[in-house]
Each structure stands twice: as C-alpha cells, then as structure tokens.
C-alpha cells in the first residue's frame, strides 16, 4: 500500500510540474501574440497612410460612349 501511495504522489508531482511548465509557455505565447498584434496594427496603419498618399486622384468622368 505504501509503494502504491508513493507512486501516486510521484505521478501527481510530475503532473503538477508539467501543468506549471505548460502554463508558463502559454503565458509567453500570449505575450508574443500581443506584441505581434501591436506590430501588425502599426504596419496596417502605415500601409493605409502610404496608400492614401500614393493613390492617384482620378476625376470621376463619364466613359466616352455616354
């Protein structure tokens, strides 16, 4: 009985360590995702600003066949 209890305690300790490591990895991944999202938002704003600057101002005219 004592051997069985010891095995269960070891298993529980190993699982607790694994869960803690996975939790740390998830936390780090969310931090990276947040950074990437901020960079993407910034680049999107820059792209849209550049697109507005370079867009030709085409006057609205009727086609020749009208």
The pLDDT tens digits of the residues spanning 21-53 come to 999 999 999 999 999 999 999 999 999 999 888
Domain count, the chain: 1
Identify the pLDDT of residue 33.
98
Query: Has residue 41 been placed in a domain?
Result: yes
Whether residue 13 is predicted with pLDDT greater than 90 in this model: the reply is yes
Helix/strand/coil (H/E/C) assignment for every residue in the chain: CHHHHHHHHHHHHHHHHHHHHHHHHHHHHHHHHHHHHHHHHHHHHHHHHHHHHHCCCCCCCCCCCC
Percentage of the residues of the chain whose pLDDT score is greater than 90: 73
Q: In this predicted structure, what is the pLDDT of residue 45?
A: 96
Residue 42 included in any domain: yes
- The whole domain housing 29 covers 25-54
Please tell me the pTM assigned to this model.
0.64
């Amino acid at each position: 009985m004592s051997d069985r209890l010891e095995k269960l305690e070891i298993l529980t300790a190993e699982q607790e360590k694994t869960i803690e490591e996975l939790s740390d990895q998830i936390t780090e991944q969310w931090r990276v995702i947040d950074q990437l999202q901020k960079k993407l938002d910034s680049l999107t704003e820059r792209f849209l600003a550049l697109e507005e600057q370079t867009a030709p101002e085409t006057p609205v005219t009727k086609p020749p066949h009208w």
